């Protein structure tokens, strides 16, 4: 007689006490799994899979990959370079929704350090135009996804021989975007699991599709990737657009970018980023009254989102030192024209999400 096992809660989320123990008991005790996960073995397995899909030798297929500079696509790129060498072509789309200095850092790392074939496309005006007047978060994501596909597709056509598209999709993206079995409501649509491969008639290569973030980081380290990339905080595909509540404008992007840079540098300078999952600024388009000198101000509000998490599936808001928080708040209010108030997001995920949109 076969046995069935089931749970009516979420043992896999870190908020569940003893949840890992429940899973460990099941996997090691009942199923008799060996527990022999090692970055090296995953790398070997994924290289074998890539070879099987793309072809192993010099005559194998070519692959284009959308490089964002984040952990996921960076690890995917280095993994693919390891597997297929210069048959990998990377495309970086500057959508104008990036953080300060982000594009330059990507060029430095992948072009100069890894010597990859990296095409950089500046499409910021196009993205901004398509976001004009849009306030609904899902519409923003869809517009950005569509622009990305258009820009990427056009650029990818330069690589006529490429029949494969690689993406750094992780397991949490898969869970949140598509239902494994049966209907489960879409929380957010991830444009990197969208309609790109169908339109481009490319086969999808997703070497990280079964992995969680901490596993991807371990693999990245194993592949010799720099700590500044491997330990980088996650950054959403739609970028700063989903950190500006309401309409995205050039002006709002500029002030958010400035504030976000203050958040990042102050936290890192204090060494407080160790143990943090993400730390960033968001723009809330609510005007509140303030006073500067003897004059009245009426400006937007900057929200700080600073969280601890194991895997991004659940997250706790982090409570920085008072002094550090005060320094960040004061610097933003004093240095960034357009913000006269700073708030700290003290909501856990769930029921809030890490990103505001």
Closest to its own copies by CB, 135 or 310: 135
Residue 214's CB is within 10 A of a number of other CB atoms, namely 12
State the Cα–Cα distance between residues 216 and 230, nearest whole angstrom.
8
Rg (CA), the chain: 22
Q: Which stretch binds its own copies (CB under 8 A): 63-71, 113-121, 145-153, 330-338?
A: 330-338
Q: Which residues contact 33 (CB under 8 A, 6 or more apart)?
A: 27
User: How does DSSP classify residue 234?
Assistant: P
Strands of 138-214 (E only): list them: 162-166, 203-205
Q: Does 351 bind its own copies (CB under 8 A)?
A: yes
Please provide residue 262's backbone torsions phi and psi, each rounded to the nearest 5 degrees.
-65, -45
Q: Does 47 bind its own copies (CB under 8 A)?
A: no
Answer for which of 54, 80, 303, 336 binds its own copies (CB under 8 A) is 303
Answer for which of 284, 306, 307, 315 binds its own copies (CB under 8 A) is 284
| Residue 298: C-alpha distances to residues 247, 248, 269 (Å) | 18, 19, 31
Q: Does 304 bind its own copies (CB under 8 A)?
A: yes
State the Cα–Cα distance between residues 219 and 39, nearest whole angstrom.
5
Closest to its own copies by CB, 58 or 295: 295
- Among 158, 157, 164, 154, which Cα is nearest to 84's? 164
How many residues bind its own copies (CB under 8 A)? The answer is: 51
Q: Which stretch binds its own copies (CB under 8 A): 54-62, 142-150, 271-279, 348-356?
A: 348-356
Stretch 87-146 residues interacting with its own copies (CB under 8 A) = 137
State the Cα–Cα distance between residues 222 and 216, nearest whole angstrom.
10
Stretch 306-325 residues interacting with its own copies (CB under 8 A) = 317, 319, 322, 325
Angle value at C-alpha 84, between 56 and 52, nearest 5 degrees: 35
Answer for which of 185, 271, 274, 275 binds its own copies (CB under 8 A) is 185
Compute, in degrees rounded to 10, the torsion defined by CA atoms 251, 254, 257, 261: -130
Site string for its own copies, 68-87 (x = CB under 8 A): --------------------
Q: Does 186 bind its own copies (CB under 8 A)?
A: yes
Question: Minimal distance in Å, beta carbon 141 to its own copies?
Answer: 10
Answer for which of 122, 184, 195, 268 binds its own copies (CB under 8 A) is 184
Instruction: Determine the straight-line distance between the first and last CA of the chain, rounded to whole angstroms.
Output: 48
User: How does DSSP classify residue 13?
Assistant: S
Answer for which of 7, 30, 48, 187 binds its own copies (CB under 8 A) is 187
Closest to its own copies by CB, 118 or 313: 313
Q: Does 357 bind its own copies (CB under 8 A)?
A: yes
Q: Which stretch binds its own copies (CB under 8 A): 111-119, 122-130, 205-213, 341-349?
A: 341-349
Question: Minimal distance in Å, beta carbon 321 to its own copies?
Answer: 9
Q: Which stretch binds its own copies (CB under 8 A): 67-75, 162-170, 267-275, 295-303?
A: 295-303
Compute, in degrees rounded to 10, the torsion defined by CA atoms 222, 224, 228, 233: -30
Please provide residue 26's backbone torsions phi and psi, each rounded to the nearest 5 degrees.
-65, -50
Q: Does 285 bind its own copies (CB under 8 A)?
A: yes
User: How does DSSP classify residue 239?
Assistant: G
Q: Which residues bind its own copies (CB under 8 A)?
A: 137, 184-188, 245-246, 284-292, 294-298, 301, 303-304, 317, 319, 322, 325-326, 329-330, 333-334, 340-353, 355-357
């Amino acid at each position: 007689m076969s046995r069935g096992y089931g749970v009516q809660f979420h043992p896999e989320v870190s908020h569940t006490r003893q949840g890992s123990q429940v899973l460990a008991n099941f996997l090691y005790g009942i199923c008799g799994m060996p527990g022999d996960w090692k970055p090296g073995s995953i790398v070997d397995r994924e290289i074998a899979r890539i070879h099987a899909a793309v072809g192993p030798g010099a005559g194998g297929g070519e692959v284009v990959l959308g490089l964002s500079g984040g952990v996921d696509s960076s690890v995917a790129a280095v993994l693919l370079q390891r597997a297929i060498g210069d048959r990998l072509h990377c495309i970086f789309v500057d959508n104008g929704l990036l953080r300060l200095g982000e594009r330059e850092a990507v060029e430095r790392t992948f072009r100069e350090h890894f010597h990859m074939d990296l095409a950089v496309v500046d499409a910021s005006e196009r993205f901004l135009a398509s976001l004009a007047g849009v306030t609904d978060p899902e519409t923003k994501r869809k517009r950005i996804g569509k622009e990305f596909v258009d820009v990427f597709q056009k650029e990818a056509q330069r690589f006529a021989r490429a029949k494969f598209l690689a993406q750094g999709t992780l397991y949490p993206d898969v869970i949140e975007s598509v239902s494994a079995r049966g209907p489960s409501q879409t929380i957010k649509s991830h444009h990197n699991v969208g309609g790109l491969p169908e339109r481009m008639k490319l086969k999808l290569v997703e070497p990280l599709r079964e992995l969680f973030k901490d596993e991807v980081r371990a693999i990245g380290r194993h592949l010799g990737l720099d700590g500044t990339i491997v330990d980088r905080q996650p950054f959403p595909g739609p970028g700063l657009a989903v950190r500006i509540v309401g309409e995205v404008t050039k002006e709002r992007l500029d002030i958010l970018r400035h504030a976000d840079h203050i958040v990042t540098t102050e936290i890192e300078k204090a060494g407080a980023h160790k143990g943090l999952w993400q730390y960033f600024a968001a723009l809330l388009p609510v005007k509140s009254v303030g006073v500067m000198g003897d004059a009245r101000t009426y400006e937007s509000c900057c929200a700080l989102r600073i969280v601890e998490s194991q895997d991004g599936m659940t997250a706790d808001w982090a409570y920085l030192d008072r002094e550090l928080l005060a320094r960040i708040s004061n610097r933003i209010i004093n240095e960034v024209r357009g913000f006269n108030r700073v708030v700290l997001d003290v909501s856990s995920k769930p029921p809030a999400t890490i990103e505001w949109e």
